[in-house]
Amino acid sequence: MDQAGTLRKLMRRRVAIRPMNMKPVRVITVTSGKGGVGKTNVVANLAVLMQKAGNRVLVLDGDFGLANMNIVMGLEARHTIHDVITGEKEISDVIVTGASGVRIIPASSGVMRMTQLSASEKTILMERLEAAPVQFDVLLIDTGAGINSDVAYLNAAATELIVVVTPEPTSIADAYALMKVMSQDHKVKRFKLLVNMVDHEKDAMGVYNHLLNVSDRFLNINIEYLGHVLRDARMSQAVLSRKVLCEGWPESAAAGCLGAVAKTLLEKPAAIELTGNVQLFWRNLLSEVSL
Ligand SMILES: Nc1ncnc2c1ncn2[C@@H]1O[C@H](COP(=O)(O)OP(=O)(O)OP(=O)(O)O)[C@@H](O)[C@H]1O
Ligand SMILES: [Mg+2]
């Protein structure tokens, strides 16, 4: 049997033996059309806040082009998911523990494209993920900006998708383009909108209403307003200090907004949750990527 055939067989077998007594897992991707809108910082802060609220959070740095989650979280990534794919490391060797006990699977910049993995690399990755002795309630994924195929696959395999946008017209236009591609090419119909770097909450509502109006006319999708984060100089200060804002400056304006966003997310569970384990997410993801 060729490698692709072996992987397909492996996937079928794994589905059949999936343990059924595990807690559902939320898989949340944080994505954007335009770059530099605050995704990585949003993920780092939401991870800390959700962990503090009693959830076991695992963060995947899904930005395989410019991996920098570990920098924002102030961690040294000695090994990355790339070492798992090459077969040199187990997942547990790669995971690092950051603020408040959040666990992170670091990526390495520019060395890996999920969509370019060979069938044998996918098989290794899947086996190691299946065998990983880590349990969690929430998997938060930071994606790269734009709509390349890796981003699209991560978004399509998640149970919830947060689109980060700023009030800049280019960011709004790119958020619209992202939702259009995700809905038309990947059948993703539900989005949560987070408006970052606003000077007033009403500006965020303006961005939301604008996107809602245009999408109601041209796309058959559902956009939910998740919240806003105020523009706050402390955010850059936090990045420079390599400390997560909510940890270092919990009283700051942006940290307050992020707290409200985390609360909303936790109060409103996903419409779909993965029953079984997060491994199902990986299986979905890797089986989507054409073999
Ligand atoms: N609410 C905010 N107020 C002020 N600055 C912010 C805010 N959110 C993010 N920033 C700043 O914006 C910059 C980009 O943030 P970040 O790296 O999180 O964006 P990103 O969307 O992950 O970027 P990329 O697309 O390159 O991955 C950082 O310098 C960060 O400090
Ligand atoms: Mg980023």
Distance 31 CA to ligand 2 centre (A): 9
Q: Which ligand is nearest to the CA of 239?
A: 1
282 or 99, which is more confident: 99
Binding pocket residue ranges, ligand 1, CB within 6 Å: 32, 35-41, 63, 66, 145, 196-197, 229, 231-232, 235-236, 239, 254
Distance 284 CA to ligand 1 centre (A): 30
Q: Would you list the domain boundaries of the chain?
A: 3-288
Distance 186 CA to ligand 2 centre (A): 22
pLDDT band at 146 (very low <50, low <70, confident <90, very high): confident
Q: Which ligand is nearest to the CA of 253?
A: 1
Nearest atom in ligand 1 to the alpha carbon of residue 235 is 31
pLDDT of residue 288: 54
pLDDT of residue 64: 77
- Report percent pLDDT > 70 for the chain: 81
Q: Which ligand is nearest to the CA of 44?
A: 1
pLDDT of residue 134: 76
Model confidence pLDDT, tens digit, residues 8-61: 555 544 443 334 445 667 889 999 999 999 999 999 999 999 999 999 999 989
* Helix (H), strand (E) at residue 31: strand 26-31
pLDDT band at 284 (very low <50, low <70, confident <90, very high): low
Model confidence pLDDT, tens digit, residues 216-268: 999 999 999 999 999 999 999 999 999 999 999 999 999 999 999 999 999 98
Nearest atom in ligand 1 to the alpha carbon of residue 34 is 25
Residue type, 143: T
- Contact between 208 and 172 under an 8 Å Cβ cutoff? The reply is no
In the predicted structure, residue 6 carries a pLDDT above the cut 60 = no
Distance 21 CA to ligand 2 centre (A): 35
Q: Which ligand is nearest to the CA of 245?
A: 1
Q: Which ligand is nearest to the CA of 32?
A: 1
Nearest atom in ligand 1 to the alpha carbon of residue 32 is 21
**Average pLDDT in the 168-176 region?**
97
pLDDT of residue 127: 75
Average pLDDT, the chain: 85
- CA–CA separation, 98 and 48 (whole Å): 9
Helix, strand, coil share of the chain (percent; to 5): 50, 15, 35
Q: Which two tokens stand for residue 256?
A: 């307050």
Nearest atom in ligand 1 to the alpha carbon of residue 233 is 4
In the predicted structure, residue 212 carries a pLDDT above the cut 50 = yes
CATH T-level fold of 3-288:
Rossmann fold (3.40.50)
Q: pTM to 2 decimals?
A: 0.88
In the predicted structure, residue 290 carries a pLDDT above the cut 50 = no
Contact partners, residue 154, CB within 8 Å, separation at least 6:
29, 31, 62, 114, 141, 143, 285
Distance 1 CA to ligand 2 centre (A): 40
Protein residue with its CA nearest to atom 3 in ligand 1: 231
Which residue out of 37, 70, 162, 230 has the highest number of ligand 1 atoms within 8 Å of its CB and is therefore the one to mutate? 37
Alpha helices in the chain (DSSP H): 3-16, 39-52, 69-72, 81-85, 91-94, 119-131, 149-157, 169-186, 201-218, 233-240, 245-248, 253-267, 279-288
Which residue out of 30, 41, 147 has the highest number of ligand 1 atoms within 8 Å of its CB and is therefore the one to mutate? 41
**Average pLDDT in the 88-92 region?**
87
Distance 174 CA to ligand 1 centre (A): 16
